[in-house]
Chain A
Amino acid sequence: MPAKKSIRVTKAQQQIVKTPFDQTVFLEGAAGTGKTTVGTRRIRYMFEEKVAPDSILILVPQKALALPYYDELKRKKTAGSQVGVMTIGSLSQQMVDLFWPLVAEEAGFKHPMKRPHFLSLELVQYYMHKIIGPEIDRNGYFNSVTINRNRLFSQIVDNLNKASVVGIPYQEVGERLKSAWQGDETQKHVYDDAQRCMTRFREFCLENNLLDFSLQVHVFIDYLWPMEAPRHYLLNKFRHLIVDNSEEDNPVTHAMLGDWLPQCDSALIIYDTDAGYRRFLGADADDAYRLKAHCDTHAMLDRHFTMSDDMTAFAVEMAETLHHPLEGVKVKRKADALAAIEFPESIRYHPQMVDAVVERIAALIYDEGVPTSEIVVIAPFMSDALRFALMTRLEAYDVPARSHRPSRALREEPAALALMTLAKLAHPAWQMRPTTFDVAHALTTAISDLDMVRARLLVDVLYKKGQLAAFDNIRNAEIQQRITFELGERYDMLRQWIDEYQQEMSPQLDFFWSRLFGELLSRNGYGFHDDFDATRTAANLIDSARHFRQIIGSIDPDAPLAKDYVEMVQRGILADAYLDWQLEDTESVLLTPAYTFLMSNRAVDYQFWINVGSPGWATRLYQPLTHPYILSLQWEQGRKWGDEDELAANQDALYRLVLGLIRRCRERIYLGFSELGEQGYEQRGELLMAIQGMLRRRALEEA
């Protein structure tokens, strides 16, 4: 692992770091000006000055943004307590978990004397399918909308979350959306349907002590925070606040901080200008800026440490092109915006562009010695097809690459597929008989050294009507020898294990898998023995099934949980992504959607922007059930959302996105463009227009 670059702090930074411990500071500045460095150094300084670590709370909008702080904390070798690192989500969950008996009844839960159950996102999706799905079918909701169920449910959940983090009663969401709508009436029915679904889901949660993210935050902010005991507990415990990326947090968090600031000893509120990328999750940068008024001291950092001089020139050029000239940024005389980018000659087809990008990456690595971790490939959306194309081409050049999410969902991992197939084989009553292909595939995963050809031979002869017959049922000696008796014996042991299990089945699917794994599949000679990727997949699948059983089983003990689980996995609702971010290999090229990269808040030397002609850089996702601008504090109620609003919003989003990316790049940006996009259409998106506009202006100036 390369040594971490050591960072020297400037006098201006040092001054903020050493602010007395009875002061609150609002620190603003653009990305790359060293604000988070101030945050981490402040922590170090507090330790040196013997501030009790457990009186410090680091609050960030999402976990990944705390990584620089975790790094700093791990470096601490002095004795003491532990700093709290939280998001509003984790803080809410911990507080609700602890103070539940004080609020459960008042908050409207039907069983206040029973424990609450916190729902993971996958269980929210599960209940959406179970509870809301049938309602939609019965009542014919959303007839005019053609998007798949999962996305429909995501937007219903999203509305609940936004209501909660913006501080709007969830019962008003539908009306708010309707009041801003000025198109045809059918869309208003869609909003009404969305409201009904939200209401039904919330009622179901209240009836069963279930708390999704929205309800956790609601109970914390609206019930616990105003209450003496929990509030006193928090104010007393955390006397010092460090809040990073406050612009990416939401109004209820800002309101809580507004209350907290006058009562804490010290605070550092960090605000990134020109950001606000989590708007569609309820983030509100304008609202965050109001925290400035609650702070004793205001500080600003404006010297860029990340961008090269040429990159700074490019940032200035692009900002001007996007009608937001940067104030106070000086461009060095010799700096050249065009030297910061590469915009290859016109390429007609998308695959050629992907090839060109990959070739350039390989050249950077092999010819110029650039570390893989300093290269990131960015697209407005990273489709599976695009990710696959990039991954396979990079692999051909022997360039390690990683994706913002696992290349496969957990349920698609061969180890998980094999466990699912074996579960179906062992539970014929489910009537989910696996295909011969699935069984052969499961056997190759489960039994070491068994290849697909021999597995097919086995299955063709021995797998009949959902049952596996004994190896000696193969009468043909030649086939037996081809498979080998050793593998035949392993196969028989697996078959016998299933037979014995069927004498005394367990209703807990996770127990079934755990025993099958422990008693057989992890033995020497079986596929999971020392394949630690496969064992991790098995562990994740078992965790997911256990969590499902514990929560769903506590609400409905008679439900056929094991079968339900398998069905839901097959439908793509459960066992989706299980990314262990602590195990992520950072020594590789990262492929990521633009916003995900921005939210990781780190800089790299080289960025490759893919599909710069795509309209996706400046267009919101199609979300017919929700609206990030109307469901915000800034939206004047009753006003209609018009084309000019859409245009202004898109332009503003593009500006923030482009500047955010440039400010996180040190050396060069490669602009990947093909005349025909991924789908084969001409590409003329706003980003492309802006880049071409800038190039034209430069050409005129130079002429």
Chain B
Amino acid sequence: MNLLGDFTFSQSSLQDDVDCPRRFELRYLKRVRYPAPETQDMLEFEQLMQHGADFHRLIHQYILGIPTELLTPFADEAPLNLWWRHFLADGLRDVPDEKRLPEMTLIAPLGDYRLLAKYDLLAITPGERAVIMDWKTSRNLPKREWLAAKLQTRVYRYVLALAGDELNDGAAIPPDAIEMRYWYAEHNRVISFPYSEAQFAEDERYLLSLIAEIEERDIFPLTTDDRRCRFCTYRTLCGRGNEAGLLDEYETDFEITLADDFDIDLDQIAEIEF
């Protein structure tokens, strides 16, 4: 048995397992920290991540009701200014406004474990429909099929169907009332995924099979797609090269996403200890 009973899965950890079981093992089971660069263009990468985090915060603040004129000065630099303009124009178009819950975390049981989803925004009209919004700040617009296969698309809808009762006046949200929307800030484009009973059943089967596989694995094999290794910090440990790949290639082949880590350590502040 590879997992402790209190193990919590997330879309990031499951995606890691699907992309490369060895990466899942190193990162989530052995918790190995390995501080190699993700890409060669470290500064640019850092800035992209920072802009992404700033943008998410701005939307959070906007949804909490902080007046736009107080927020706009914080989006005065490129590319944030463009994203912000796009968001103000269309980011919430046709998004239910009865209940908007920014930065919401839901947890559902998955076999003997837990599955966590951290949503950018859940917008719900109780008894009618529920829209999952996910703000994407990557420069490239991915193909729909690529997104459809992502664990995020499966996990987010699945968890909402299982754990959304408390947001829907105590009743479970039926899968066909759920829609997942990726909104690409740079392009002001939505890529949307409805949900269904059949897809829910298929996701459950798939997710359970993933964890069963993880539980039983004796060895965690290295990925066969070694393009991934160029953007993975464990590359030297795995003997998969010594240098990080270029950011442009990263963005073409994969998608930069903000870390969706599941540590429940909310206490970031350094307090004086004894």
Interface residues of A (CB under 8 A from B): 50, 52-54, 62-63, 70, 73-82, 84-87, 89-90, 92-93, 97-99, 101-102, 113-115, 118, 120-122, 154, 157-158, 161, 213, 216, 229, 233, 281, 404, 508, 511, 513-515, 517-520, 522-524, 529-530, 532, 535-536, 538-540, 542-543, 582-583, 593, 595-596, 599
- Residue among A54, A101, A529 having the largest count of chain B Cβ atoms under 10 Å: A101
Instruction: Determine the chain B residues whose CB is within 8 A of the CB of A530 once the complex forms.
Output: 237
Q: Are A518 and B268 in contact (CB under 8 A)?
A: no
Q: Are A113 and B166 in contact (CB under 8 A)?
A: no
Does residue B109 face the partner (Cβ distance < 8 Å to A)?
Answer: yes
Stretch at the interface among B35-43, B92-100, B197-205, B214-222: B35-43
Q: Are A89 and B242 in contact (CB under 8 A)?
A: no
Instruction: Determine the chain A residues whose CB is within 8 A of the CB of B57 once the complex forms.
Output: 97-98
In the complex formed, the residue of B with least CB distance to A157 is: B272
Q: Are A522 and B64 in contact (CB under 8 A)?
A: no
Task: Give the docked Cα–Cα distance between A113 and B77 (Å).
Answer: 13
Q: Are A79 and B264 in contact (CB under 8 A)?
A: no
- Chain B, residues 83-101, CB within 8 Å of chain A (1/0): the string is 0000000000000000000
- Chain B, residues 263-274, CB within 8 Å of chain A (1/0): the string is 111111111111
Q: Are B166 and A52 in contact (CB under 8 A)?
A: yes
Q: Which of A52, A113, A522 contacts B74 (CB 8 A)?
A: A113
Task: Give the docked Cα–Cα distance between A157 and B54 (Å).
Answer: 30
Q: Which of A73, A79, A543 contacts B162 (CB 8 A)?
A: A79
Task: Give the docked Cα–Cα distance between A510 and B226 (Å).
Answer: 26
Q: Are B107 and A82 in contact (CB under 8 A)?
A: yes
The total of interchain contacts (Cβ-Cβ below 8 angstroms) comes to 173
Instruction: Determine the chain A residues whose CB is within 8 A of the CB of B54 once the complex forms.
Output: 115
Q: Are A84 and B266 in contact (CB under 8 A)?
A: yes
Q: Are A593 and B162 in contact (CB under 8 A)?
A: no
Chain A: minimal CB distance from B269 (Å):
4
Residues A522 and B237 in contact in the complex (CB < 8 Å), given A74-B6, A80-B107, A539-B35: yes
- Inter-chain pairs besides A90-B268, A518-B242, 15 sampled, C-beta below 8 Å: A78-B109, A79-B107, A81-B163, A82-B107, A89-B269, A90-B269, A98-B61, A99-B61, A101-B61, A101-B66, A120-B270, A404-B274, A530-B237, A543-B35, A595-B274
Task: Give the docked Cα–Cα distance between A161 and B107 (Å).
Answer: 36
Residues A522 and B236 in contact in the complex (CB < 8 Å), given A79-B106, A98-B64, A233-B64: yes
Q: Are B34 and A89 in contact (CB under 8 A)?
A: no
Q: Which of B6, B33, B162 contacts A539 (CB 8 A)?
A: B33
Task: Give the docked Cα–Cα distance between A80 and B54 (Å).
Answer: 28
Q: Are B166 and A582 in contact (CB under 8 A)?
A: no
- Chain B, residues 208-250, CB within 8 Å of chain A (1/0): the string is 0000000000000000000000000101110100111000000
Instruction: Determine the chain B residues whose CB is within 8 A of the CB of A74 once the complex forms.
Output: 6, 8, 264
Q: Are A79 and B32 in contact (CB under 8 A)?
A: no
Q: Are A523 and B242 in contact (CB under 8 A)?
A: yes
- Residue among B104, B235, B274 having the largest count of chain A Cβ atoms under 10 Å: B274
Chain B: minimal CB distance from A54 (Å):
7
Instruction: Determine the chain B residues whose CB is within 8 A of the CB of A50 once the complex forms.
Output: 166, 170
Instruction: Determine the chain B residues whose CB is within 8 A of the CB of A78 once the complex forms.
Output: 109
Instruction: Determine the chain A residues whose CB is within 8 A of the CB of B266 once the complex forms.
Output: 84-86, 90
Instruction: Determine the chain B residues whose CB is within 8 A of the CB of A543 once the complex forms.
Output: 35
Q: Are B43 and A517 in contact (CB under 8 A)?
A: no
Task: Give the docked Cα–Cα distance between A84 and B266 (Å).
Answer: 8
- Chain B, residues 21-41, CB within 8 Å of chain A (1/0): the string is 000000000111111110000
* The 10 nearest A-B residue pairs measured at CB: A518-B36, A79-B163, A539-B33, A74-B6, A121-B270, A101-B70, A539-B35, A113-B73, A522-B236, A89-B269
Task: Give the docked Cα–Cα distance between A216 and B268 (Å).
Answer: 13
**25 A-B contacts (beta carbon < 8 Å):** A50-B170, A63-B265, A76-B107, A77-B112, A80-B107, A81-B163, A81-B166, A82-B106, A86-B267, A90-B266, A101-B71, A102-B66, A102-B70, A118-B268, A118-B269, A233-B64, A514-B36, A514-B37, A518-B36, A518-B37, A519-B36, A522-B236, A529-B237, A535-B32, A596-B274
In the complex formed, the residue of A with least CB distance to B109 is: A77
Instruction: Determine the chain B residues whose CB is within 8 A of the CB of A518 once the complex forms.
Output: 35-37, 233, 235-236, 242-244
Q: Are B114 and A77 in contact (CB under 8 A)?
A: yes
Instruction: Determine the chain B residues whose CB is within 8 A of the CB of A524 once the complex forms.
Output: 236, 239
Q: Are B71 and A536 in contact (CB under 8 A)?
A: no
Q: Are A62 and B36 in contact (CB under 8 A)?
A: no
In the complex formed, the residue of B with least CB distance to A99 is: B66
Does residue B139 face the partner (Cβ distance < 8 Å to A)?
Answer: no
Chain B: minimal CB distance from A115 (Å):
7
Instruction: Determine the chain B residues whose CB is within 8 A of the CB of A63 once the complex forms.
Output: 265, 267, 271
Q: Are A93 and B268 in contact (CB under 8 A)?
A: yes
Q: Are B109 and A85 in contact (CB under 8 A)?
A: no
In the complex formed, the residue of B with least CB distance to A216 is: B269
Residues A519 and B104 in contact in the complex (CB < 8 Å), given A78-B109, A89-B271, A535-B35: no
- Residue among B116, B162, B236 having the largest count of chain A Cβ atoms under 10 Å: B236
Residues A213 and B269 in contact in the complex (CB < 8 Å), given A80-B166, A599-B274: yes
Q: Are B64 and A213 in contact (CB under 8 A)?
A: no
Chain B: minimal CB distance from A78 (Å):
7
Instruction: Determine the chain A residues whose CB is within 8 A of the CB of B235 once the complex forms.
Output: 518
Does residue B165 face the partner (Cβ distance < 8 Å to A)?
Answer: yes
Q: Which of B6, B73, B106 contacts A75 (CB 8 A)?
A: B6
Task: Give the docked Cα–Cα distance between A93 and B270 (Å).
Answer: 11
- Chain B, residues 129-167, CB within 8 Å of chain A (1/0): the string is 000000000000000000000000000000100110111
In the complex formed, the residue of B with least CB distance to A113 is: B73
Q: Which of A76, A114, A121, A508 contacts B272 (CB 8 A)?
A: A121
Instruction: Determine the chain A residues whose CB is within 8 A of the CB of B121 once the complex forms.
Output: none
- Chain B, residues 165-202, CB within 8 Å of chain A (1/0): the string is 11100100000000000000000000000000000000
Q: Are B163 and A80 in contact (CB under 8 A)?
A: yes
Task: Give the docked Cα–Cα distance between A158 and B65 (Å).
Answer: 36
Q: Are A54 and B104 in contact (CB under 8 A)?
A: yes
